[in-house]
């Protein structure tokens, strides 16, 4: 695939051809990452082959682990390919993105999962954003309708999981914040405010119940469907019920930043800033801002890092930097905006220099050293597709923030 590297007119930044001979450090980092991603993802495409399955990670044997559309991570691979099309404007990337996007098309009717945003918005959502294809738009609307059926008015939240029914009556996980963007999008498409109202209710209820006084997050809350009361606060992928699972904290930062962008409700921005404060000021946050898999893991510093959490945080901090700068906010917004932008860039730089695979390694994945679920000894210290997706997204926002 030919290397073009830069966005088309839809992108915010411009590159002056024939201008300064000295390329800026921002463009240099982005150019290197995109060049690397082209090489690696071409390898990944070759390894995936002609299949209806999408890649998720590397198994212990070193073999590529492919998953069906029902897996919650199935939308990240086509999403990554859409980003490569956006970066390069090479139609070959679009062809590959379309192919693997339609691998998850049937999920628009799957009412057994809350992961519609991850699966459908990352794939069909990026596809629609870049092409305006009405077929993609209809899939997004249908997916939002199905996601809405999992909303319980008494609880005020969308049900996350159907499994472990012997343990939980109505589980809601912090990850679910990431799926609300699909509902906001559906309201924009249709004018139907019911999608918007469900998203706001879920965000408000989660804001009320999912956070400790220090604004660390619980992973799983179980609700009583009769009274709407919280029955228990536990973890499934973190170290302990009262610990803060790093990727969960990243989902919270990203989710409430997005909710403020979509609604303009200042309470969401206020919460996003407090979540950011927890992340940046936690005693166990490493200097490179690539967190351990749990902020309270017992053997720190001899615990695995979670690169996927760092990639999500980088993308979220780029957005939060812009939103804080524009907001009518009590904190000195210019200094806070600059701080968040610096953190986002620092994370991205450190991921690029210290956690990126070499070309040809790990079947074509971009980043190493992510953690899926350490308590289950699953996907510990391996490449994972969602880390790559948010790494590419962070590169996109990096270039947009450095015009």
Active site residue 115: yes
Q: Which two tokens stand for residue 274?
A: 């407090």
Identify the CA nearest to 104 among candidates 53, 150, 144.
53
Active site residue 175: yes
Question: CA 77 → CA 47, 89, 115, 312, 319, distances in Å?
Answer: 13, 18, 15, 15, 22
Question: CA 97 → CA 94, 191, 311, distances in Å?
Answer: 5, 29, 21
d(CA 279, CA 153): 32
DSSP H or E run through 25: helix 25-48
Strand locations in 85-149, DSSP E?
none
| DSSP codes of every residue in 173-216 | EGGGGGGHHHHHHHHHHH--HHHHHHHHHHHHHHHHHSB-TTSP
d(CA 288, CA 273): 20
Q: What angle in degrees, to the nearest 10, is found between the helix axes of 76-88 and 91-101?
A: 160
Neighbouring CB atoms inside 10 A of 151's CB total 20
Contacts of 228 (CB under 8 A, 6+ apart): 154, 155, 156
Q: 309 with 291: CB under 8 angstroms?
A: yes
Whether the ω angle into residue 301 lies within 30 degrees of 0, i.e. cis, is yes
Identify the CA nearest to 202 among candidates 165, 153, 168, 264.
153
Q: Which residue out of 115, 306, 368, 388 is catalytically annotated?
A: 115
DSSP secondary structure code for residue 171 in this structure:
E
d(CA 341, CA 280): 13
Q: Is 85 helix (H, G, I), strand (E, B) or coil?
A: helix
Q: Which residue out of 71, 175, 319, 368 is catalytically annotated?
A: 175
Q: Which two tokens stand for residue 286?
A: 């490493």
Q: Which two tokens stand for residue 262?
A: 């979509």
**Catalytic residue IDs:** 115, 175
């Amino acid at each position: 695939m030919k290397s073009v590297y830069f966005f088309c007119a839809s992108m915010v930044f411009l590159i002056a051809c024939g201008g300064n001979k000295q390329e800026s450090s921002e463009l240099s980092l982005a150019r290197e990452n995109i060049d690397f991603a082209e090489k690696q993802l071409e390898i990944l495409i070759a390894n995936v082959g002609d299949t209806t399955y999408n890649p998720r990670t590397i198994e212990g044997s070193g073999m590529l682990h492919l998953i069906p559309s029902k897996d919650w991570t199935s939308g990240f691979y086509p999403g990554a390919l859409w980003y490569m099309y956006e970066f390069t404007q090479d139609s070959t990337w679009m062809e590959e993105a379309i192919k693997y996007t339609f691998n998850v098309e049937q999920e628009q009717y799957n009412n057994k999962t809350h992961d519609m945003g991850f699966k459908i918005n990352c794939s069909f959502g990026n596809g629609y954003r870049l092409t305006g294809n009405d077929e993609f738009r209809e899939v997004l609307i249908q997916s939002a309708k199905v996601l809405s059926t999992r909303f319980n008015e008494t609880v005020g939240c969308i049900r996350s999981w159907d499994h472990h029914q012997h343990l939980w009556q109505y589980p809601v996980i912090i990850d679910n914040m990431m799926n609300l963007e699909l509902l906001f999008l559906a309201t924009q498409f249709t004018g139907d405010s019911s999608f918007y109202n469900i998203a706001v209710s879920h965000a408000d209820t989660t804001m009320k119940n999912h956070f400790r006084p220090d604004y660390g997050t619980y992973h799983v809350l179980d609700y009583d469907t009769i009274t709407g009361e919280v029955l228990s606060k536990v973890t499934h992928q973190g170290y302990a019920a009262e610990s803060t699972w790093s990727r969960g904290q990243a989902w919270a930062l990203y989710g409430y930043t997005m909710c403020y962008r979509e609604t303009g409700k200042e309470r969401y921005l206020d919460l996003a800033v407090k979540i950011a404060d927890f992340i940046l000021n936690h005693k166990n946050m490493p200097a490179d801002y690539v967190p351990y898999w749990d902020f309270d893991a017992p053997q720190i510093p001899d615990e695995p890092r979670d690169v996927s959490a760092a990639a999500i945080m980088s993308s979220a901090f780029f957005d939060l930097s812009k939103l804080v700068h524009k907001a009518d906010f009590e904190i000195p917004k210019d200094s806070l905006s600059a701080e968040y932008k610096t953190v986002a860039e620092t994370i991205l730089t450190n991921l690029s220099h210290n956690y990126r695979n070499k070309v040809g390694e790990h079947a074509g994945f971009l980043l190493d050293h992510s953690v899926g679920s350490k308590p289950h000894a699953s996907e510990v210290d391996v490449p994972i597709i969602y880390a790559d997706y948010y790494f590419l997204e962070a590169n996109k926002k990096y270039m947009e923030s450095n015009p």
